[in-house]
Amino acid sequence: MLTLPFLDDLPRFLFFTGKGGVGKTTLACATAVRLAEQGKRILLTSTDPASNVGQVFGVTVGNTITPVPTVPGLNALEIDPQQAADAYRATIIDPVRDLLPAAEISAMTEQLSGACTTEIASFNEFTSLLADETATAAYDHVLFDTAPTGHTVRLLQLPGEWTSYLSDGKGDVSCLGPVAGLDRLRHDYAGALAALTDPTRTRLVLVTRPQGSSLREAARTSGELHELGMTNAHLVVNGVMPSYAVTSTPRDELAHAVRAREDAALDAVPDAVAALPRTTLPLLAVNTVGVPALRALLEPEAPSLPEPAAEIATLPDGLTDLRGLVDELETDGHGLVMCMGKGGVGKTTVAAAVALELASRGHDVLLTTTDPAAHLNETLQAETPHLTVERIDPQVAIEGYRERVMAGKGKDLDDAGRAVLAEDLKSPCTDEVAVFQQFSHVVFRARKQFVVLDTAPTGHTLLLLDATGSYHREITRQMSEGAHFVTPLMRLQDPAQTKVVIVTLPETTPVLEAQELQSDLARAGITPWAWVVNGSLTAAAPTSPFLRARAHAEAEPLTSVRGLCQRVAVLPLLAREPVGAAALSELTRPLTEGTVIDAH
């Protein structure tokens, strides 16, 4: 009998958070359906730039509250980051447009044009829902499909001293805007923080998968948010392979191996989340898109779901394997390979496999990461000839950046001014700027060797690219006419120097998120060189009827990906995890050899 502790004694606000690919959006949508069908009035809000709440319900949901026709009592809202940013800039700039010189307006607009401002504008939209009770008075519960990590919630704690500091002219305008907007922000942030840290009003639902990396991420997030005062937390382990999927096919090695790995991960749940109330949800045989599937997620015995055919699913024509991509990469002799995508799709695994294969062919390779949660050394487990492993440590970069700013801009300030500047530099808005200098150095090194870069999850990566674009525009303005120069963004835009590889999973939501990433890259003038679809059951050809049903659910996502890029490699799911050089080398064996690979 399925029990759902995370729904017991519900407070008014629910926050669903977790590593990418764990089913956060799906669970938020399923919970919204269940509560609405119990007669509750529900508002489901997504603050994810790649939100697909509308696709899950099969309706168009935008920046205005929209009823879901198939679920009476349920309204949905997708906060559009670009619209939010445009409106936010207007509130800051319009009041002073006729009061300041055009040059200052232009500089202010540039300052407020980055991805950091876009993130804050979206953040402000959801804080207003928390702080303004009249905005949500019509609803019994408000559900947020978001990831309020320590990085984001830190914005709630920006000090009131900013106002006097900026009004006295002691600091530059930040991406939060000048003093005109800070009074309202401080009021809303205080109200939002009060709601988030009140256990009678807000519950944090940490969504995870039965995998070690996902559970460790949930533990890290739980610890950060607990320090910020968010103490009412529940753990939901999503997608556990049901027992019947194993017992019905005793000879399927893949099914037994997956279940054994899940059991081992759940036996070693990190202490930080082990004591939390826990809900375990089984993996379904179909994609959780549409109301019947969402209903079945929290009621697995629901009879309304169709049973897919149990015959072997086949891959679409025109797909290759990872070895084929490496063969093409090798012809250049050097260059930057950027593995990008949402968290949890296997970027670290793919990056490590590509770097290891290039090194095994005698090329000097630098494998590095900008992802704070990456564990490259754990993945490789041993030193390899021709392969150097480094990490762009965000914390080291941030501390160095703060020291340089304090030594420069802060040297002429009094003690009070230096104290406020130091607090300003704790804002997460400065983090990507700090990492940027080290990132630029890595891009430069790719002129003479292979550099394989495992990037942070999509949102942080776009902030990094935005910093690259801002740097490019600044250099362009400073250079004299006719001068020759090359900025990091120009290298990223040049396919002869940079190969962007988008990594995803053969599931509807990850593919939609990766497609959104491709659109964002196009706006930056960057065209992905290839896609890698990780963890495919279709390519693994399992014998278990349950896994074959799951494989059939991959047909639409795989076909969609095939139409998005001319190079698409598929990695099958395997019984053993690709940890260590020997296991990673299997990732670059031809598909025709029947090797099956684990994506996580």
Confidence at residue 529, expressed as pLDDT on a 0 to 100 scale: 95
Position 170 confidence tier, pLDDT thresholds 50, 70, 90: very low
Most confident of 356-365, 484-493, 568-577: 356-365
Position 571 confidence tier, pLDDT thresholds 50, 70, 90: very high
Confidence at residue 303, expressed as pLDDT on a 0 to 100 scale: 43
Nearest to 239 by CA among 347, 375, 344: 344
Q: Going by DSSP bridges, is the β-strand pair 66-67/74-78 parallel, antiparallel, or unpaired?
A: antiparallel
Most confident of 228-232, 361-365, 545-549: 361-365
Position 93 confidence tier, pLDDT thresholds 50, 70, 90: confident
Here the tokens at position 74 are 């349920």
Angle made by CA atoms 497, 454, 580, in degrees to the nearest 5? 120
Confidence at residue 5, expressed as pLDDT on a 0 to 100 scale: 95
- CB contact at 8 A, 120 and 92: no
Here the tokens at position 269 are 């749940």
Distances from the Cα of 200 to the Cα of 175, 207, 257, 559, angstroms:
33, 20, 42, 46
Residue 43 DSSP code: E
Task: Give the tens place of pLDDT for each residue, 476-491.
Answer: 655 556 555 566 667 7
| 179: pLDDT strictly greater than 80 | no
Most confident of 129-133, 166-170, 383-387, 482-486: 383-387
Beta bridge partners of 142: 13, 43
Nearest to 456 by CA among 390, 368, 326: 368
Distances from the Cα of 564 to the Cα of 130, 457, 514, 581, angstroms:
38, 20, 10, 31
Residues in CB range of 578: below 8 A, 6 or more apart: 349, 353, 379, 584, 586, 587, 597, 598
- CB contact at 8 A, 538 and 554: yes
| 599: pLDDT strictly greater than 70 | no
| Average pLDDT rounded to a whole number, residues 228-249 | 88
Position 570 confidence tier, pLDDT thresholds 50, 70, 90: very high
H or E segment to which residue 352 belongs: helix 347-360
Confidence at residue 403, expressed as pLDDT on a 0 to 100 scale: 86
**Which domains are assigned to the chain?**
5-298 (3.40.50.300), 322-593 (3.40.50.300)
- CB contact at 8 A, 328 and 320: no
Position 373 confidence tier, pLDDT thresholds 50, 70, 90: low
- CB contact at 8 A, 552 and 308: yes
Position 194 confidence tier, pLDDT thresholds 50, 70, 90: confident
| 410: pLDDT strictly greater than 80 | yes
What span, in angstroms and rounded, lies between the C-alpha atoms of 51 and 509? 9
Here the tokens at position 104 are 């200052």
- CB contact at 8 A, 599 and 505: yes
- CB contact at 8 A, 522 and 492: no
| Average pLDDT rounded to a whole number, residues 269-276 | 94
What span, in angstroms and rounded, lies between the C-alpha atoms of 161 and 165? 6
- CB contact at 8 A, 545 and 310: yes
**Pairwise pLDDT comparison (160 vs 537), residue with the higher score:** 537
- CB contact at 8 A, 451 and 335: yes
What span, in angstroms and rounded, lies between the C-alpha atoms of 586 and 216? 26
| 514: pLDDT strictly greater than 60 | yes
Here the tokens at position 248 are 């019905």
Distances from the Cα of 386 to the Cα of 348, 366, 453, 581, angstroms:
19, 9, 16, 13
- 3-state DSSP helix/strand/coil % of the chain, to nearest 5: 50, 15, 35
What span, in angstroms and rounded, lies between the C-alpha atoms of 255 and 238? 17
**Pairwise pLDDT comparison (196 vs 205), residue with the higher score:** 205
| 596: pLDDT strictly greater than 80 | no
- CB contact at 8 A, 75 and 161: no
Confidence at residue 178, expressed as pLDDT on a 0 to 100 scale: 45
Q: What is the 3-state secondary structure (H, E, C) of 159-209?
A: CCHHHHHHHCCCCCCECCECHHHHHHHHHHHHHHHHHHCCCCCEEEEEEEC
Position 322 confidence tier, pLDDT thresholds 50, 70, 90: very high
| 167: pLDDT strictly greater than 50 | no
Q: Mean pLDDT across the chain, nearest whole number?
A: 79
The DSSP result for 417-472, as a single string, is HHHHHHHHTTSGGGHHHHHHHHHHHHHHHTTTSEEEEEPPPHHHHHHHHHHHHHHH
Position 116 confidence tier, pLDDT thresholds 50, 70, 90: low
Amino acid of residue 73: G
Position 390 confidence tier, pLDDT thresholds 50, 70, 90: confident
| Average pLDDT rounded to a whole number, residues 511-526 | 81
Angle made by CA atoms 191, 52, 215, in degrees to the nearest 5? 70
Any idea which of 234-238, 364-368, 393-397 has the lowest mean pLDDT? 393-397
